[in-house]
Amino acid sequence: MEFSLALPREAIGIPMVRRALGDSLRSLGVTEDCIADILLAVTEACANAVRHGGPANRYEVETAIGYGRCDVRIIDRGQGLIRVPERYPATDVENGRGILIMQAVVDEISFDIAPGRGTIVHLRKHLDWDEDAMFLNDRVLAAV
């Protein structure tokens, strides 16, 4: 399953990404814990695209689900990431934890950075399956 979304560089688009991706994963029988991890990472990446993706007025989310994994690319046309932080910032700092949070909840994360042309954040998570949902999906498919 693949889909892509082009969104305005505004926070209002982030819930739409979460809904489309979460519903897709649920319909396939992925566990809620696994879905929560993916949605957390994608939310952080989208928030960074909204915050830092200028001067472009939109960003894109490309998703591929298959072969037991979920791959998501968040693409912005901003100035590009300067560097990836190595540790969490001090507790009195409000921002700067997003990339570290993403690293903590997905299996793989990579960045394609083109200074002055944008950033692509690639998130990959191996999927855990809800056995009860898989059983129900198999019965529904068998009845069709």
pLDDT of residue 52: 87
| % the chain with pLDDT above 70 | 79
Residue 86: pLDDT over 80: no
Q: In the numeric block, which tokens belong to residue 24?
A: 């897709």
Burial (0-12, 13-18, 19+ Cβ within 10 Å), 92: exposed
Residue 135: pLDDT over 90: no
Residue 55: pLDDT over 50: yes
Distance between CA 118 and CA 115 in Å, rounded? 6
Sheet holding 108-114, edge to edge: 2-8, 58-66, 69-76, 118-126, 108-114
| % the chain with pLDDT above 90 | 64
CA distances for 131 relative to 22, 25, 46, 86, 128, angstroms: 18, 14, 30, 37, 9
pLDDT of residue 81: 63
Q: What is the mean pLDDT of residues 112-141?
A: 80
Q: What is the mean pLDDT of residues 95-104?
A: 80
* 62 and 4 Cβ atoms separated by less than 8 Å: yes
Q: What is the pTM of this model?
A: 0.84
pLDDT of residue 144: 37
pLDDT of residue 139: 47
Distance between CA 138 and CA 130 in Å, rounded? 12
Residue 115, phi-psi category: left (phi > 0), alpha (psi -120 to 50), beta (remainder): beta
pLDDT of residue 140: 45
pLDDT of residue 96: 59
